[in-house]
């Protein structure tokens, strides 16, 4: 007994030396895994009993928990404490940031987000930076401090350095408990939340009721996409489709009263998980969209509503109203009388009420108490915790039973694999462990990251994942599991452990496994390798039964850029049952070359029945081809090469090529980057754009160009830094291989 006390005393003394200015409350219970609550001094002082109750509940769930308390002066101070704790306690698996913990606002790292590509020079720092806790949970990312925000003193701006890793691979998981701060009750709300989840943890929640919702515009109304995800969710949660389980799948067009239906479903106390796929804002979920008109009068009313909203938008943005009217009158033949009433109080109120019935506003949450324990907001801005009010915070810290939300601090791409690994939640895996593999800057757990759902019939996979993460034999054995979520996890883990040595098995898994989810996991691993074998498998994966695999495959064809893909992509446009796949295939062809694809398109159309719809499809394709070629060759490339246009107008095309990786633009970008006489700002912009060509079959040229610039005598430091960053980006590959 005395020996244990001595060892414990030595351990605590060592920790006290590491954290000289931080008050540490050590764990009470000894468990195999460790966790840490990071909290500011004032929040702890005002909620101490609740914090300790939360700590005790976590420890009872087999995680020894430290509490680190300080009046944190900046993010670096917090990060230093987390890194030191991880070094002294290797079994530390996660943290939660409670209260007024400094927020890192990340710049020069847009390639680590799914969609965010805002002009950092044109827009203010607070709009063109990404609030991200990857600053705290990925220790290989390196940053230079820029400045503290003068208005919101919790915000600190950082630039991702060229010496940093250029891919997110988190060392621990994290969550953020930041209650809405719109009145003087924030400490009362925080205390109530901590006490509530401490009590809920004793209930051993089971996952037996799930709700999914697909909002308007999310899948571009592609029912094939919705169908595919429904099948994939059944693979991950088969027990929800048996007696005793419940899966409620809603689509925005099912009812004109969908908002009411959703509110009714969300308040059910037996609901465990809600998954939203929709557009979103800081204080809103855009759910339903304007219903289709059934007669001429309804069509006219819908157009009037639309043009009135455009006038109001123009006024907010201080644009001339007459020019907005003139555009719609001249382009669409709209009578001027249809704009009437746009700024009349009664009309504005009526329009506002109509729109409010289509969406979920933050004020709507006062009308019901959410019952879902976990809500996944696959939506833009719902997790923007830099604001006093934000949608995910309103759900999590409100009066309902919600323990945590997974939400995004900025905009997010629609076509991500939003439910990747989600089935692990049925294996007692903590949501933090699941979320640790969601490698984007913008995605966060709002609330308690230690939440898990208990399944008495399954082993404790939370503990096994933590203990067996590097055990190759363990994961190889798991490849034979009959459980799809475990088999998919084994594919992921073995890819990470073995990389190229696992390629042949990945190919066999993709060819032979009957699971949508497992095949997609294999394709993701192959995409991460970017080998010749990967480029060849796309010819097969593009026809997979799973719509999401087809969608990812055509997108990957576009960024690889091989001309051999063109006839396959043409067939996808013409015959794939998912308009989401056909639209993505069209975008892929745009990157490879529309002109070359036109011959294949005409040939395919000529083999089809000579009906009006096929002729119109060919006409639309050729029209799009002409516009795309003209845009690239008449506008984009000439503007980039111009010696008369302003530097701002030349940089614009370079930044556009981040989203549109035209293979034809690659040599032009390279030429601009190596030109010593070129303006450094343009060279930097072109180098950054080249970093988005990491899948290109010509990517070795990019690496060679970066090396050449790094050897250039007299090259500006800004150019060399971007060359190093781009080289590293191309070498390591896309942050998420199926979302290049």
Task: Identify whether residues 309 and 408 lie together within a single domain.
Answer: no
Q: Is the alpha carbon torsion for 439, 444, 449, 454 positive or negative?
A: negative
Task: Identify whether residues 618 and 719 lie together within a single domain.
Answer: no
Domain final residue pick, 563, 597, 630? 630
Task: Identify whether residues 44 and 166 lie together within a single domain.
Answer: yes
Burial category of 504 from C-beta neighbours within 10 Å (exposed 0-12, middle 13-18, buried 19 and up) = exposed
Q: Which residues contact 511 (CB under 8 A, 6 or more apart)?
A: 540
Q: Looking at residue 4, what is its pLDDT?
A: 44
Q: What is the pLDDT of residues 540-574, one digit of tens each?
A: 999 999 999 999 999 999 999 999 999 999 999 99
Task: Identify whether residues 223 and 123 lie together within a single domain.
Answer: no
Helix ranges (H only) for 337-390 are 345-356
Q: Looking at residue 507, what is its pLDDT?
A: 98
Contact predicate 82/141, CB 8 Å: no
Per-residue pLDDT band for 3 (boundaries 50, 70, 90) equals very low
Q: What is the pLDDT of residues 236-265, one digit of tens each?
A: 999 999 999 999 999 998 988 899 999 999
Strand ranges inside 260-302, DSSP E: 273-277, 279-281, 284-286
Element (H, E) at 84: helix 75-88
C-alpha to C-alpha distance for 140 and 628, rounded to whole angstroms: 40
Q: Is the alpha carbon torsion for 48, 49, 51, 52 positive or negative?
A: positive
Using the 8-state DSSP alphabet, how is residue 735 labeled?
S
Contact predicate 693/702, CB 8 Å: yes
Task: Identify whether residues 426 and 277 lie together within a single domain.
Answer: yes
Q: How many residues does the chain have?
A: 740
In a domain, 420, yes or no: yes
Task: Identify whether residues 275 and 307 lie together within a single domain.
Answer: no
Is the predicted pLDDT of residue 594 greater than 60, yes or no? Answer: yes
C-alpha to C-alpha distance for 277 and 332, rounded to whole angstroms: 32
Contact predicate 134/106, CB 8 Å: yes
Q: What is the pLDDT of residues 501-523, one digit of tens each?
A: 999 999 999 999 999 999 999 99
Task: Identify whether residues 83 and 187 lie together within a single domain.
Answer: yes
Using the 8-state DSSP alphabet, how is residue 638 labeled?
H
3-state SS class at 221: coil
Is the predicted pLDDT of residue 12 greater than 80, yes or no? Answer: no
Query: 99: left (phi > 0), else alpha (psi -120 to 50), else beta?
Result: left
Let me know how many helices (H) and strands (E) the chain has, helices first: 30, 18
Is the predicted pLDDT of residue 475 greater than 60, yes or no? Answer: yes
In a domain, 739, yes or no: no
Percent of the chain with pLDDT over 90: 78
CATH at 391: 3.40.50.1460
Lowest mean pLDDT among 118-122, 302-306, 476-480, 513-517: 302-306
Task: Identify whether residues 546 and 689 lie together within a single domain.
Answer: no
Q: What is the mean pLDDT of residues 616-622?
A: 90
Q: What is the pLDDT of residues 446-465, one digit of tens each?
A: 999 999 999 987 888 888 88
Per-residue pLDDT band for 7 (boundaries 50, 70, 90) equals very low
Contact predicate 168/138, CB 8 Å: yes
Is the predicted pLDDT of residue 323 greater than 50, yes or no? Answer: yes
Q: Which residues contact 277 (CB under 8 A, 6 or more apart)?
A: 212, 213, 214, 215, 218, 219, 378, 379, 418
Q: What is the pLDDT of residues 679-715, one digit of tens each?
A: 999 999 999 999 999 999 999 999 999 999 999 999 9
C-alpha to C-alpha distance for 108 and 654, rounded to whole angstroms: 15
Domain final residue pick, 309, 332, 356? 356
C-alpha to C-alpha distance for 250 and 234, rounded to whole angstroms: 15
Q: Looking at residue 678, what is its pLDDT?
A: 95
Six-digit token string for 152 = 């919101």
C-alpha to C-alpha distance for 656 and 501, rounded to whole angstroms: 37
Q: Based on the structure, what is the number of domains in the chain? A: 5
Task: Identify whether residues 99 and 154 lie together within a single domain.
Answer: yes
Helix axes 296-316, 345-356, angle to 10 degrees: 110
Domain final residue pick, 170, 193, 216? 193
pTM given for the model: 0.92
In a domain, 456, yes or no: no
End-to-end CA distance of the chain: 56
Using the 8-state DSSP alphabet, how is residue 180 labeled?
-
Element (H, E) at 176: strand 173-177
Task: Identify whether residues 168 and 48 lie together within a single domain.
Answer: yes
User: At CA 378, angle to CA 544 and CA 218, rounded to 5?
Assistant: 60
Q: Looking at residue 740, what is its pLDDT?
A: 77
In a domain, 506, yes or no: no
Contact predicate 65/58, CB 8 Å: yes
In a domain, 513, yes or no: no
Task: Identify whether residues 648 and 570 lie together within a single domain.
Answer: no
In a domain, 593, yes or no: yes
Task: Identify whether residues 685 and 626 lie together within a single domain.
Answer: no
In a domain, 592, yes or no: yes
Contact predicate 478/464, CB 8 Å: no
Cα separation values, 454 from 158, 422, 427, 457, Å: 39, 14, 7, 9
Rg (CA), the chain: 27
Residue 223: CB atoms within 10 Å: 16
Give the 3-state secondary structure of 698-727: CHHHHHHHHHHHHHCCCCCHHHHHHHHHHH
Contact predicate 282/244, CB 8 Å: no
* Closest alpha carbon to 591 in 613, 621, 559: 559
Helix ranges (H only) for 295-344 are 296-316, 321-332
Lowest mean pLDDT among 142-151, 534-543, 587-596: 587-596
Is the predicted pLDDT of residue 2 greater than 80, yes or no? Answer: no
Q: Looking at residue 16, what is its pLDDT?
A: 52
Q: What is the mean pLDDT of residues 382-406?
A: 97
Element (H, E) at 481: none
Pairing status of strand 273-277 against strand 374-378: parallel
Is the predicted pLDDT of residue 71 greater than 50, yes or no? Answer: yes
Per-residue pLDDT band for 229 (boundaries 50, 70, 90) equals very high
Per-residue pLDDT band for 314 (boundaries 50, 70, 90) equals confident
**Domain that includes residue 582, residue range:** 530-630
Q: Looking at residue 624, what is its pLDDT?
A: 87
Residue corresponding to tokens 């991200």: 132
Is the predicted pLDDT of residue 443 greater than 90, yes or no? Answer: yes
Is the predicted pLDDT of residue 111 greater than 60, yes or no? Answer: yes
Q: Looking at residue 217, what is its pLDDT?
A: 84
Q: Which residues contact 121 (CB under 8 A, 6 or more apart)?
A: none
Mean pLDDT of all residues in the chain? 92
Helix ranges (H only) for 420-544 are 431-435, 461-467, 472-478, 484-498, 503-512, 516-529, 532-541
Is the predicted pLDDT of residue 74 greater than 70, yes or no? Answer: yes
C-alpha to C-alpha distance for 285 and 685, rounded to whole angstroms: 34
């Amino acid at each position: 007994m005395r020996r244990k006390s001595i060892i414990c005393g030595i351990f605590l003394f060592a920790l006290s030396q590491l954290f000289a200015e931080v008050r540490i409350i050590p764990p009470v219970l000894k468990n195999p895994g460790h966790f840490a609550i990071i909290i500011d001094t004032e929040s702890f002082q005002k909620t101490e009993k609740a914090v300790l109750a939360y700590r005790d509940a976590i420890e009872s769930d087999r995680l020894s928990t430290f509490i680190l308390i300080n009046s944190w002066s900046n993010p670096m101070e917090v990060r230093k404490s987390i890194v030191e704790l991880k070094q002294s306690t290797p079994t530390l698996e996660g943290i939660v940031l409670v209260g007024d913990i400094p927020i890192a606002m990340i710049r020069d790292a847009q390639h680590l987000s799914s969609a965010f590509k805002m002009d950092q020079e044109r827009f203010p720092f607070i709009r063109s930076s990404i609030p991200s806790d990857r600053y705290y949970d990925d220790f290989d990312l390196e940053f230079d401090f820029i400045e503290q925000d003068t208005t919101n003193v919790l915000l600190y701006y950082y630039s991702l350095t060229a010496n940093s890793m250029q891919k997110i691979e988190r060392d621990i998981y994290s969550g953020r408990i930041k209650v809405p701060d719109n009145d003087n009750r924030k400490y009362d709300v925080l205390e109530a939340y901590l006490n509530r989840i401490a009590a809920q943890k004793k209930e051993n929640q089971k996952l037996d009721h799930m709700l999914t919702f697909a909002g308007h515009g999310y899948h571009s109304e592609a029912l094939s996409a919705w169908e595919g995800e429904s099948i994939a969710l059944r693979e991950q949660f088969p027990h929800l489709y048996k007696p005793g389980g419940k899966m409620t799948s809603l689509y925005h067009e099912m009812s004109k009263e969908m908002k009411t239906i959703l509110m009714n479903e969300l308040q059910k106390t037996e609901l465990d998980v809600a998954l939203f796929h929709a557009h979103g804002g800081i204080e809103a979920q855009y759910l339903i969209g304007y219903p289709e008109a059934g007669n001429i009068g309804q069509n006219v009313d819908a157009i009037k509503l639309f043009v009135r909203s455009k006038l109001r938008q123009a006024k907010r943005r201080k644009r001339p109203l007459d020019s907005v009217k003139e555009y719609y009158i001249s382009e669409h033949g709209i009578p001027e009388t249809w704009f009437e009433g746009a700024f009349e109080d009664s009309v504005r109120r009526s329009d506002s009420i109509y729109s409010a019935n289509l969406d979920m506003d933050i004020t709507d949450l006062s009308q019901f108490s959410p019952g879902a324990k976990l809500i996944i907001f696959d939506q833009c801005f719902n997790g923007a915790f830099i604001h006093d009010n934000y949608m995910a915070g309103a759900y999590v810290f409100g009066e309902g039973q919600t323990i945590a939300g997974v939400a995004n601090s900025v905009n997010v791409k629609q076509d991500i694999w939003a439910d990747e690994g989600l089935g692990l939640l049925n294996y007692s895996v903590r949501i933090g462990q699941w979320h640790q593999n969601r490698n984007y800057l913008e995605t966060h757990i709002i609330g308690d990251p230690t939440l898990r759902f208990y399944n008495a019939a399954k082993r404790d996979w939370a503990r096994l994942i933590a203990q067996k993460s590097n055990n190759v034999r363990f994961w190889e054995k798991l490849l034979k599991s009959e459980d799809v979520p475990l088999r998919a996890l084994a594919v992921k883990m073995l890819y990470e452990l073995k990389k190229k040595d696992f390629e042949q098995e990945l190919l066999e898994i993709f060819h032979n496994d009957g699971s949508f989810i497992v095949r997609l996991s294999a394709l993701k691993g192959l995409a991460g390798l970017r080998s010749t074998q990967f480029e060849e498998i796309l010819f097969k994966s593009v026809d997979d039964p799973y719509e999401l695999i087809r969608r990812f495959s055509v997108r990957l064809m576009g960024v690889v850029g091989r001309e051999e893909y063109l006839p396959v992509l043409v067939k996808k446009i013409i015959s794939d049952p998912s308009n989401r796949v056909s639209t993505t295939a069209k975008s892929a062809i745009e990157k490879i070359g529309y002109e070359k694809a036109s011959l294949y398109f005409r040939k395919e159309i000529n083999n089809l029945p000579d009906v009006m719809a096929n002729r119109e499809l060919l006409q639309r394709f050729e029209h799009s081809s002409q516009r795309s070629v003209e845009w690239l060759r008449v506008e984009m490339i000439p503007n980039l090469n111009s010696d008369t246009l302003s530097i701002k107008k030349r940089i614009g095309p370079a930044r556009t090529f981040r989203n549109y990786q035209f293979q034809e633009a690659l040599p032009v970008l390279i030429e601009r980057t190596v030109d010593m006489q070129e303006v450094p700002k343009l060279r930097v912009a072109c180098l950054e754009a080249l970093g988005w060509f990491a899948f290109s079959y010509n990517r070795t040229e990019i690496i060679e160009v970066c090396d050449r610039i790094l050897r250039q005598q007299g090259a500006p430091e800004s150019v060399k830094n971007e060359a190093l960053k781009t080289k590293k980006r191309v070498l390591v590959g896309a942050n998420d291989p199926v979302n290049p």
